[in-house]
Every structure is written in C-alpha cells, then in structure tokens.
Amino acid sequence: DVKVTQSSRYLVKRTGEKVFLECVQDMDHENMFWYRQDPGLGLRLIYFSYDVKMKEKGDIPEGYSVSREKKERFSLILESASTNQTSMYLCASSAKYEQYFGPGTRLTVT
Amino acid sequence: GQQVMQIPQYQHVQEGEDFTTYCNSSTTLSNIQWYKQRPGGHPVFLIQLVKSGEVKKQKRLTFQFGEAKKNSSLHITATQTTDVGTYFCAEYSSASKIIFGSGTRLSIRP
C-alpha cells in the first residue's frame, strides 16, 4: 500500500512566522504535489515536483516555496505566514496518473 | 487556464435515492478522473476514463465520459450512508499534474 504521510495534522502559527510542512512517501514515486483545499474552491495546486531538486509552480504559488532534496520528501515552506494562508494543505504523490494523498495538515494562522 | 466545472456544489438526498454529479469543460479533455473524499479524510482515486463515450461501473457507481470528451458524470444508484463525501472530477495533464473540479458534496438523510 502506498503511504503518504504529513508531519502534522493540525498546526497553529502566528502571522509572520516561517512555516514548514513536510511530506514523505514510501513508494519511490517521482512526482509529488502540494495542494490547498478551501470550501467551494476544490483543490488548488501550489507547487509540484517531478524529480529531486526539480520544482514547478502550480496555480497559486505566491507566498509559498518548496524543497525536494530527496526523492521521498517534499516540503512546503511559507516564508512569512499570513492569515489568508489558513487552509487545509494536502500533499500527494504519483508514479503515473493516479495520485495518492496524505491525510492533510490543517493550518491556522492567527 | 484549463478549468473543469462541476455541478451541483451540494446535494442532499434521502438514503436509497439516486445521485448524479456532472463535470463540464469548455475544451476537449484528454481524460477524466474521479476522486472521493470522505468527511475529515483525503481524496481517494476512484477511476480514470480515457475514451470518448466510455462507461465504467463500480458496483452502484456508474462513470461516463461524453462523446465529445467535454463532460463526464458520476451516478450513484440507491445511495447508502457510506456514500457521504465530496466527489471530485479531475483531468490528468501531460505535465503530470491534475486539474481538479470544485467538487460536489453529497449528504444523505438516513
């Protein structure tokens, strides 16, 4: 079974803090993705990576950066958290067309 | 960019009634995927359709891809409480990323 894990289920941070969200997959997938999910807006792609040290912007990359130093790990970084980044963050990985999602991190920025 | 519109946003049905959600695009889709997200859970891949006019069934779920490959539907016959959740359609693009619809949230009266 594919397993995608995320470092935290719930996180509360203050405005201006630097936030790291970690994602690890155990199936040697090349592709990894970060989404945010907000009510009525579905899943919006922030960044994705198709190889180590490679990254591509998704639809809403502003205010975020990513790091992929190892194949199994994909990190999402909020350089200076803002209240409009309060959301559910979902990580996913894929080998081909089917994406496998982690449990999500609910981030609240106060 | 490419957008996949999904309707309705919400559907509330009596247990045992049928349910359908629709996905529409202004441009031709190369494929259509469907995911289910249970309340408090993460999206789980259900199926992918590729061919024009394709119909696939999974028990009480019937998935259709339109002849023009611009729309798709998911129909659930005789809903059960286990069907509760949000259903997303999505298109897998050649860049290994997926564009999601906004989802249809299904709730069921027992």
pLDDT of A58: 92
What is the domain extent for residue A48? 4-102
Q: Which residue has the higher pLDDT, A59 or A65?
A: A65
A52, part of any domain: yes
Sign of CA dihedral A14, A15, A16, A20: positive
Nearest-Cα distance to chain B for A24, in Å, is 15
What's the pLDDT band for B7 if we cut at 50, 70, 90? very high
Q: What is the mean pLDDT of residues A78-85?
A: 97
How many other CB atoms are there within 10 angstroms of residue A3's CB atom?
Answer: 11
Partner A, chain B 19-78, Cβ-Cβ below 8 Å = 31, 33, 41-45, 48
pLDDT at residue B95 above 70?
no
pLDDT at residue B4 above 90?
no
Q: What is the mean pLDDT of residues A86-107?
A: 94
pLDDT at residue A91 above 80?
yes
A98, part of any domain: yes
A22, part of any domain: yes
- Give the separation between CA A52 and CA B65, rounded to whole angstroms: 35
A107, part of any domain: no
pLDDT at residue A102 above 70?
yes
A76, part of any domain: yes
A108, part of any domain: no
Give Cα separations from A88 to A33, A35, B25, B51, B97 (angstroms): 14, 8, 26, 34, 19
pLDDT at residue B2 above 70?
no
- Which among B91, B101, B84 has a CA at the least distance from the CA of A43? B101
Give the gyration radius of chain B's Cα atoms: 13
**Cross-chain CB nearest to A42 (options B31, B97, B103):** B103
User: Tokens in use for B62?
Assistant: 């019937």
B45/A100 Cβ within 8 A: yes
Query: Contacts of residue B100 in chain A, CB cutoff 8 Å?
Result: 35, 42-44
pLDDT of B1: 53
B1/A97 Cβ within 8 A: no
How many structural domains comprise chain A?
1
Looking up residue A77, the CATH number of its domain turns out to be: 2.60.40.10
Contact A54, A48 (CB under 8 A): no
The predicted-structure confidence for A32-61, as pLDDT tens digits, reads as follows 999 999 987 889 999 999 999 899 999 899
A31, part of any domain: yes
pLDDT of B98: 86
A110, part of any domain: no
Q: Which residue has the higher pLDDT, A81 or B95?
A: A81
Supply φ then ψ for residue A108, to 5 degrees. Answer: -115, 125
Sign of CA dihedral B9, B87, A24, A67: negative
pLDDT at residue A2 above 70?
no
Helix (H, G, I), strand (E, B) or coil at B86: strand
The predicted-structure confidence for B9-65, as pLDDT tens digits, reads as follows 999 999 999 999 999 999 999 999 999 999 999 999 999 999 999 999 999 999 999
Interface test with A, best of B4, B35, B87, B98 (most A CBs within 10 A): B98
Q: What is the mean pLDDT of residues A14-28?
A: 97
